[in-house]
Structure 1
Amino acid sequence: MKSLLSFTVALFTLALAGCGEESDKSPVDGRDFDAEDYSEPEPYTGRVIDGYLRNARVWLDMDGDSQYTPGPMTFENSAGTEITLRDGEPTALTGEGGVFSLDTAELVQDPSISPDIDPRDFPLFAVVLPGQTMEQTRIGEVVLEDAYLLSAPPGVRNVTPLSHLVRQRRLIGLQDLSVISTDLSDALGNVNLVSNYIRSGDHRAHAYARAFARFMASQFPPEYANLLRNGDGRERYLSEEAVYLLGVSFARNALEVVQVVDAAASQGNYENINIDELELPEVPVELDDPVILERQTVLARGEGSELPATMSNLSVSAELEFDYSEDGRLTAVTANGCMMPSMREMARLINARGKIADTDVQWMPSISLSQESASYHEAEGADERLTFNWQDRTATFETTTTCHPGLASSSALGGPPAIRYGWTMADARVDSLTATSDSKTEVLRPDYQFANDAFFGFTRSVDGVNEEIVALTSSVQSCEGDIDPEDVDAAQVVSAQQPFTVTGSITLPDEFTSPALEFDTRNDRFRPLRFGFLDEEMSSTPGVSNTEGFDWAFYYPFDNSSEFVADQPNLINIAYLNRHGGSRACGREFERAPSAAYARVNYTYQRLSEYLSGLVE
């Protein structure tokens, strides 16, 4: 069956190659031309189909931004010649039978300047105008009230939900479904994804297309739909990245949509399926394409199992991978090796509705110093996982290791969790976060007085006892005026501090006095540089010598480096876990990376679109 499909697609492609040839355009500057050989360029025609769609806006996307571009528009051909198209990208509204005809006269060029521009080199796009576009059905024309976007690969002139799937998979870099075997290709069988399934009477393909259209409409931005409702389809709203993200989500969920349709087709009767009654996946999409944390690599294995250790003697003990949904929400953190879930970081993430990019500084580290972690890391496979259920306001932590005294471990992930989390909200912020295990119940209650994007105070109780109370005692205090002129342009400078206090039943070392959070707030940024903390479990880890408390110190990429993200400048590059250094002067150049530490954590980031593309089969 796959061979038949490949043959069908090949024939269809060959047929396209013979259609829509343009001839020389009549000169308008008085030059001589061969009138006998001259003919008007043929329009570029095709159809827009869910059922046949009348009054849908269609255009040739020549600049690759996935939106209609009006004229005058400058187009650069493959030879580097710039050509001005007075009328912009060829566009039209579809007519009866979904037929469109694009005027390609402007694509015909003076051969002494540039070869003709071939419309078959560009994808076609179409958008449904809610309240205006009509679908031709067996019972007559029906007004469509939901907007959605369609496209087709270059050269393909049937613009349908199925052709949209083909193009999106190609954009991601995947092979066509006609030449590879995947769950989706097996489910689609011999469906021709670039054909006119209305004309061929392929009810199965039509059912898939209608379900795809409904799924895409459910993800379409309401603001754009409202704009189109009162417009003519030439309105620009979405970025190229946003259209790509919508396409990636469509490609990622296509199999589930197909499976829902198949389940509804009683004995293969696809013609009479009520698509509106199907329970299709509901998948919100983040359209801004933020940079998100992909991985933390933890180096906390010391020579001879002793910490701190020099940088040359620190080796990898764990790798943490971060998983996301299409809307940019963190769904899980999986460790090869051991990790230490931070309730404070979890609360920050919850306050950002799970969207890690909205936390600004993404996932400040909280790690395990257990030397056993390295042994687990050396073995293949995941060892621990923190999983979020945003709908239920719960999370679970599973471990198959012995890195955590008092926590029950499972033989494999997917078994009973070692810790169960639940949270309550007040004024759209975490009111309390509770962690329940076999050995204790731990509750974190944030205190938002003087809170900022990176830190808040809190009370942490264990089995009803207030073990740790951290209180921010003022707002962030700037000392930018105290910076030495020689340090003004330094890569990192402590330009602000925020004092805090620690009380409770936790043991307070003499060195942990007058602690203060440190920030670099120059150039309208808000970069945490150093914060001190106490952790009795970490301090008592075998091989760890520490009675003074710890500091996390953060380092950021240089502005001119490839790692720097201009619209997200507060992304940590490297973090070091040090012995607490006590109070230090504000206004100083921040210390260079230490020669020895308890741990080093390297951060790796990627765009959400890159992450999601990697999940498409």
Structure 2
Amino acid sequence: MKRLLPISVALFTLALAGCGEESDESPIDGRDFDAGDYGEPRPYTGRVIDGYLRNARVWLDMDGDSQYTPGPMTFENSAGTEVTLQGGEPTAMTGEDGVFSLDITELVQDPSISPDIDPRDFPLFAVVLPGQTMEQTRMGDVVLEEAYMLSALPGVRNVTPLSHLVRQRRLIGLQDLLVASNELAEALGNVNMVSDYVRSGDHRAHAYARAFARFMASQFPEQYSDMLRNGDGRERYLSEEAVYLLGVSFARNALAVVRVVDEAASQGNYENINIDELPLPEVPVELDDPVILERQTVLARGEGSQLPATMSNLSVSAELMFDYSEDGRLTSVTANGCMTPSMREMARLINVRGKIAGTNIQWMPSISLSQQSANYYEAEGPDERLVFDWQSRTATFETTTTCHPGLASSSALGAPAAISYEWTMADAQVQSLTATSGDKTEVLEPDDQFGNDAFFGYTRSVDGVEQETMALTDSIQSCEGDIDPDDADAALVVSAQQSYTVSGSIVPADGFNSLALEFDNRNDRFRPLRFGFVDEAMASTPGVSNTEGFDWAFYYPFENSSEFVEDQPNLISVAYLNRHGGGRACGREFERTPSAAYARVNYSYQRLSEYLSGLVE
């Protein structure tokens, strides 16, 4: 996942203007020696700075994976020639005043085979070794006890928290701060982001750098820090994606850090700020970079406001956008149009502490069939929002619509919630989820017996009266041996079922019996295909004709499609809301997409890193 972007020569020349004299030691042609005077190239030198850092590991990241790569390593140069570097990426430990000197002898090539490799074409990386790296201060050397990683744009040899911010913004594809017109650029003002601010005595830049370093250290993985404490900095732990996610979070929170520093600088006195006491943001980060649900597009507007409707007569009635924090937790779901929060889906999410990728099947649809939804969708701006507060174990649902009979609406989002949720936990699982709206109290109590990633049993009561009990009556039963050989290679096959019952004050419709959840669990996958349910509110929606109950049917991308995610193969591509079809045989090829339905829901996904990158500015 290499994101290095072309460097603008004009901007880069301007950026190098403040790099310090060591940045000008290399001749203009990139070669570090003159054949008439030298037998060996000059070392590639620079500094690692928070204050000056001694005994930090530095390397030239030639393969773009953000970790040190030992030799022998194969490198393809600009001419397409493969070059083997027996020593791996040039690396060294910093010395006095943070100075490092990289041996780049192996980058000089036989001109008949390959042009020389210019070290200025690659970014420098540095890592602080806790308990080993020392910061030189005016009060003496201080041993650093927390690890963090720094980098700099190719050619820049002052490796600092400021240069790291410049490079991270470049990777994301944002404007350089020298030319950007945004709050961060304005807050930083005329700070030289690639200079030796210790040498120049720029206390403001130094204060920002120290605060940035503390913020980055707070996010650094503890396991990697432990490795570095007992190592020499050449240990590999983070993936390229993990380093990128840490960088995105840094870039996203840099403005907040700058503002905290500015507030602490009494009358511009940046020199005497106690950085260790500043209330910096605390932002946990998910480093696995999972694919997460970005949006659901709901097509539930029927011709003449009647449902079900043929596929050609279904149009968009709502769009749901999913928002996340850096640690991959779902923070809110915002709807243009109407949605119907599902307490069952909320409970599944709560069980994985809000990290939607941990649910395996991400957010089964919970929609509104109200034909008013399309009118709100067509109007500008969001209409409903479900917001999670994971620390307080609460959530709220706000609506500005009239899609929900008996539910109070407001004129704008941000007003008092129409529904307030709270939950209790036992053994890391939801014990009860309570929804309060006006004088109504609804409680969902999960029953985990025979439960799985997608389904669990539950009892749902309203104002103390049991409304519905769904009970899984057995574990998932495989019928893979019953699959017809002609269907064995079909994209979706019902290879397992799980029986369940529905009871309570809700009277199931005729034919709503012999119930079974259907799955395709071939090839060690777990794909829900169909489940039936009764929903009186949905069935009584004006224009909806249903006395038999409903089925959700799920479809998944083909393995050779661009939508297929190899390490997350159970991501739903599209879902259809159908009339309940009764019991069906296990072992059959799953039905093709229907010609008519109450609704179709299209899913869109993206990597967490891509989502967070879009939020930096």
Answer yes or no: same fold by TM over 0.5.
yes
1:452 aligns with 2:458: no
Aligned-partner SS, 2:169? helix
On the 8 A contact 1:25/1:39 being kept in 2, the answer is no
Q: Quote the offset at 1:502 in angstroms.
A: 0.5
On the 8 A contact 2:468/2:506 being kept in 1, the answer is yes
1:206 aligns with 2:212: no
What's the counterpart of residue 437 of structure 2? 437
What's the counterpart of residue 406 of structure 1? 406
Aligned AA (2:354): G
TM-score w.r.t. structure 2 length? 0.96
Q: Deviations over 1:456-478 (max 9, x none)?
A: 00000011110000000000000
Aligned-partner SS, 2:216? helix
On the 8 A contact 1:423/1:434 being kept in 2, the answer is yes
Q: Quote the offset at 1:440 in angstroms.
A: 1.3
Measure, in 1, the Cα distance between the counterparts of 2:269 and 2:367.
55
Q: Quote the offset at 1:79 in angstroms.
A: 1.7
Measure, in 2, the Cα distance between the counterparts of 1:326 and 1:165.
17
Measure, in 2, the Cα distance between the counterparts of 1:128 and 1:15.
24
What's the counterpart of residue 333 of structure 1? 333
On the 8 A contact 2:16/2:156 being kept in 1, the answer is no
What's the counterpart of residue 572 of structure 1? 572
Q: Quote the offset at 1:102 in angstroms.
A: 0.3
Q: How many residues align?
A: 606
1:347 aligns with 2:347: yes
Q: Quote the offset at 1:510 in angstroms.
A: 1.3
What's the counterpart of residue 601 of structure 2? 601
CA RMSD of aligned residues (A): 1.6
Measure, in 1, the Cα distance between the counterparts of 2:101 and 2:181.
36
1:20 aligns with 2:26: yes
On the 8 A contact 1:466/1:504 being kept in 2, the answer is yes
Aligned AA (1:94): T
What's the counterpart of residue 9 of structure 1? 15
Measure, in 2, the Cα distance between the counterparts of 1:396 and 1:540.
25
1:390 aligns with 2:396: no
What's the counterpart of residue 550 of structure 1? 550
Measure, in 1, the Cα distance between the counterparts of 2:401 and 2:169.
39
Aligned AA (1:70): P
What's the counterpart of residue 8 of structure 2? none
Q: Quote the offset at 1:534 in angstroms.
A: 0.7
Matches within 5 A, 1:92-111: 92-111=92-111
Unaligned runs of 5+ in 2: 1-10
Q: Quote the offset at 1:508 in angstroms.
A: 1.2
Q: Deviations over 1:63-122 (max 9, x none)?
A: 000000000010001221000001000000000000000001110111111111110100
Q: Quote the offset at 1:19 in angstroms.
A: 3.1
Q: Deviations over 1:489-524 (max 9, x none)?
A: 100000000000011000211110111100001000
Q: Deviations over 1:423-461 (max 9, x none)?
A: 000000000000000141110000000001100000000
Percent identical pairs in the alignment equals 82
Unaligned runs of 5+ in 1: 27-33
Measure, in 2, the Cα distance between the counterparts of 1:439 and 1:194.
61
What's the counterpart of residue 228 of structure 1? 228
On the 8 A contact 1:20/1:43 being kept in 2, the answer is no
Measure, in 1, the Cα distance between the counterparts of 2:362 and 2:32.
57
Matches within 5 A, 1:237-386: 237-386=237-386
Aligned AA (2:560): N
Q: Quote the offset at 1:378 in angstroms.
A: 0.4
On the 8 A contact 2:58/2:127 being kept in 1, the answer is yes
1:58 aligns with 2:58: yes
Query: Relative to structure 1, is the Cα distance of residues 67 and 23 closer, same or farther in structure 2, using a 3 angstrom cutoff?
Result: closer
Query: Relative to structure 1, is the Cα distance of residues 485 and 354 closer, same or farther in structure 2, using a 3 angstrom cutoff?
Result: same
Q: Quote the offset at 1:302 in angstroms.
A: 0.2
Q: Quote the offset at 1:39 in angstroms.
A: 3.8
Query: Relative to structure 1, is the Cα distance of residues 25 and 98 closer, same or farther in structure 2, using a 3 angstrom cutoff?
Result: closer
Query: Relative to structure 1, is the Cα distance of residues 427 and 343 closer, same or farther in structure 2, using a 3 angstrom cutoff?
Result: same
Q: Quote the offset at 1:20 in angstroms.
A: 2.0
On the 8 A contact 2:242/2:289 being kept in 1, the answer is yes
Measure, in 1, the Cα distance between the counterparts of 2:442 and 2:35.
88
Measure, in 2, the Cα distance between the counterparts of 1:12 and 1:214.
24
On the 8 A contact 1:23/1:41 being kept in 2, the answer is no
Aligned-partner SS, 1:267? helix
Q: Deviations over 1:225-252 (max 9, x none)?
A: 0000000000000000000000000000
Aligned AA (1:551): D
Query: Relative to structure 1, is the Cα distance of residues 139 and 13 closer, same or farther in structure 2, using a 3 angstrom cutoff?
Result: closer
On the 8 A contact 1:24/1:39 being kept in 2, the answer is no
Query: Relative to structure 1, is the Cα distance of residues 120 and 159 closer, same or farther in structure 2, using a 3 angstrom cutoff?
Result: same
On the 8 A contact 2:45/2:102 being kept in 1, the answer is yes
Aligned AA (1:501): T
On the 8 A contact 1:555/1:573 being kept in 2, the answer is yes
Measure, in 2, the Cα distance between the counterparts of 1:391 and 1:493.
41
1:133 aligns with 2:133: yes
On the 8 A contact 1:24/1:40 being kept in 2, the answer is no
Aligned AA (2:417): P
Measure, in 1, the Cα distance between the counterparts of 2:325 and 2:334.
15
Measure, in 2, the Cα distance between the counterparts of 1:51 and 1:13.
15
Aligned-partner SS, 2:17? helix
